A and B are shown apart, each in its own frame.
Chain A
Amino acid sequence: MTRVFTLKIDGQEVSGREDETILDVARDHHIPIPTLCHLEGLSDIGACRLCLVEVSGIPKLLPACTTHISEGMDVTTNSERLQKHRRTIVQLLFSEGNHVCSVCVVNGHCELQNSAVRLGVNHISLPYLNPKRTVDASHERYGFDFNRCILCTRCVRVCGEIEGAHTWDVMGRGIESCVITDLRQPWGTSESCTSCGKCVEVCPTGALFEKGNAVGEMTKRNAFLVTLARMREEDK
């Protein structure tokens, strides 16, 4: 039997099942917490650090997406300190890649762009790194523009967990980390890829895109994921 815990989020009394995370409970009660790497239906890894929240009694900030709730927790999701950290994190993401919204296929529908707007990031105070990055357009239907990648690894997770192909993976460390297909070969030559396109739909930015779209023309449709994940859960 699953227990039900009651806790406080931003002063509001809420309750949730013991297997739920702070983020689940907050979303159930319409308390917004910004996220980038989280996607309903995929496992959570706590990588983007945008969902960090304060829990009273714990000096460190905890990622809401991977922290399970406990009885009597007192969570703050929106303090000035958290907002400041979130703004810096978004700025770091922008300065680390080559995110040029004006020429991006998802301009206007981009989760990174939306997070920046919501957090009030209107300029980047950090020096741009301008790394040399490449575009892989070898796949017949899709393209991968590494310049726009924020390494949320949603593509890696959806490919492994939902499609079961595990074509995508992460390679390298630190600033040299990148996502690769198969054994770092051009996507078009990958033998494990089923061309299902799930990775393209879950990508929060324009890093993975469908060919044939011009600037701002692409929208991501990832609602299928929730249905798929739920159906599989019921099958078990």
Chain B
Amino acid sequence: MYGLLDKITRGIATLEDLALLEDLCETVKATSLCGLGQGAPNPVQSTLRYFRDEYLAHIVDKTCPAGVCKIQQGVAL
């Protein structure tokens, strides 16, 4: 999950990565034995719910609306 988020902030993620991230969040949350695992995906899930447009901006437009991420232009996968 961290790897996928990192890819998104570097502007090299794809829409498949976003779908995978959502799937992973669900599975980790539902199947974890301990409370740490059950709670760990929460920040990711809530940002996905409320700031999905920003995720999409990183992936599709390769821009960071908040100006926080250092997006490398023209980096090939």
- A residues contacting B by CB (< 8 A) are 46-47, 49, 52, 60-61, 63, 84-85, 88-89, 92, 125-127
- B residues contacting A by CB (< 8 A) are 3, 20, 23-24, 26-27, 30-33
Contact (Cβ within 8 A) B33 A61: no
CB-defined contacts of A84 to chain B, threshold 8 Å = 23, 27
Contact (Cβ within 8 A) A85 B30: yes
**Contact A85/B33 with A125-B20, A126-B20, A127-B3 known, Cβ cut-off 8 Å:** no
CB-defined contacts of B31 to chain A, threshold 8 Å = 49, 52, 61, 85, 89
Contact (Cβ within 8 A) B33 A88: no
**Contact A47/B30 with A88-B23, A125-B20, A127-B3 known, Cβ cut-off 8 Å:** no
Q: How many A-B residue pairs have CB under 8 A?
A: 27
CB of A156 to closest CB in B, whole Å: 16
Q: Which residue of B lies closest to A59 (CB)?
A: B30
**Contact A85/B20 with A46-B33, A49-B33, A127-B3 known, Cβ cut-off 8 Å:** no
Contact (Cβ within 8 A) A85 B3: no
25 CB contacts below 8 A, A to B, read A46-B33, A49-B31, A49-B32, A49-B33, A52-B30, A52-B31, A60-B30, A61-B30, A61-B31, A63-B33, A84-B23, A84-B27, A85-B27, A85-B30, A85-B31, A88-B23, A88-B24, A88-B27, A89-B27, A89-B31, A92-B27, A125-B20, A126-B20, A126-B24, A127-B3
CB-defined contacts of B3 to chain A, threshold 8 Å = 127
CB-defined contacts of A92 to chain B, threshold 8 Å = 27
CB-defined contacts of A63 to chain B, threshold 8 Å = 33
Please give me the 7 A-B residue pairs with the lowest Cβ-Cβ distance, nearest first.
A88-B27, A49-B31, A85-B27, A85-B31, A61-B30, A52-B31, A85-B30
